[in-house]
Amino acid sequence: MRAFVFDKYKQAVHEAEVPEPAVGERDVLVQVAAAGVNQLDEKIRDGEFTTILPYKMPLVLGHDVAGTVLRTGPSVTGFAPGDQVFARPRDGRIGTFAERIAIDEADLAVAPTTISTIEAASLPLVSLTAWQALVEKANVKPGQKVLIHAGAGGVGTIAIQLAKHLGAQMAATASRKNADFVRELGADVVIDYRTQDFENELSGYDLVLDSLGGENLARSLHILRQGGKAIGISGPPDPAFAKAAGLNPVVRLAIAGMSAKIRRKAKKLGVGYEFLFMSASGDQLRKIAALVDAGALRPAVGRTFSFDQTPQALDSLTTGGTRGKTVITVP
């Protein structure tokens, strides 16, 4: 079957013929109709996660999928051929930039019925990230103050809506041209990151969701109330993540060193820092689908590319400026 792969880190993806997916006991074979494009795809291709995700080459990229069930493994009970589904396949089993993919049934959910297949493909990774940050890690409550960085981006567009649904007072950073768009999603306060300093504008926040890392993350600690928390999805990874991931002691020690500076700063300020590397979950996707069909969440698709344009779709991530998600359509 056709797929887009890369053979060495830091090399471009190219089309190749790859073997048909093997369908295991609890796997579901999905005909890919659309696949979301994520910064994680580019980071893996650049070799940023080799210590925690040691993939073998050649590798088919792609972490989001929406499509149709073709067949199921003998122990699968929750899905049948013809079902319209969406998923973020688990780490170690990615590969949605292909015509077909076999997915563990635990990672899969029936797609929302009120949106298009392209919109469904835009959701899994970013909506799971938002859910695991705001619901699982932060347990956001009504009235709490939440800042979402990069509010017009893939994670930001969903996180703003989910935080608003949870009853939070919402602030977001965005460019001036995206300010109204971000307000429509639910942001009460919009900070133009080009002309305003969020550190001077905001204070007393319960939570910051940071997708930028570096100095932006460090400065975010200053707007938190005592006991508040910053959750970083760009890193640096922390010891709790390394332990939960079952990494070897040497890697765990290295990861502890990577996040030592930001953790020390957080402790000094009386706030917390946690790293989030989202995980696949069909159960959570079912809850997200229900919110979509109830009108509480709406996908934001900024650009679409044909399957033949997969390399260009990945390249578009580096130029920025896209509202929401980029999606590849597969014939």
What residues does CATH 3.40.50.720 cover in the chain?
Answer: 125-275
Amino acid at 301: V
CA distance 240 to 258: 13
| CA–CA separation, 14 and 108 (whole Å) | 27
CB atoms within 10 A of CB 96: 31
Mean pLDDT in order along the chain per 10 residues (331 residues): 96 96 98 97 90 90 98 97 98 97 98 98 98 98 98 97 98 96 98 96 98 95 98 90 84 88 96 96 98 98 97 90 92 87
Identity of the residue numbered 143: G
List the CATH code of the domain at 2-122+299-329.
Answer: 3.90.180.10
User: Biggest alpha carbon distance in the chain?
Assistant: 58
Q: Are 29 and 69 in contact (CB under 8 A)?
A: yes
Structure tokens at 173: 């950073």
Distance from C-alpha of 94 to C-alpha of 102, rounded to nearest angstrom: 9
Residue 6: partners with Cβ closer than 8 Å, 6 or more residues away: 12, 13, 14, 45, 57, 58, 59, 61
290 contact partners, CB below 8 Å, separation of at least 6: none
Closest among 167, 183, 162 to 288, alpha carbons compared: 162
User: Other CB atoms closer than 10 Å to residue 308's CB: what's the count?
Assistant: 13
Burial profile 142-162: b = 16 or more Cβ within 10 angstroms, e = fewer: eebbbbbbbbbbbbbbbbbbb
Cα–Cα distance measured from residue 31 to residue 213, given in angstroms and rounded to the nearest whole number: 36
Top CATH class, 125-275: alpha beta
Q: Tally Cβ neighbours within 10 Å of residue 321.
A: 11
Contact by Cβ (8 Å): 266, 273: yes
Is 177 in contact with 155 (CB distance < 8 Å)? no
What was the pLDDT predicted at 314?
95
Give dist(CA 281, CA 106) in Å, integer: 7
DSSP string, 228-262: EEEEESS----HHHHHHTT--HHHHHHHHHHHHHH
Q: Looking at residue 263, what is its pLDDT?
A: 95
Q: pTM score, two decimals?
A: 0.96
For the chain, where do the domains classified as CATH 3.90.180.10 start and end? 2-122+299-329
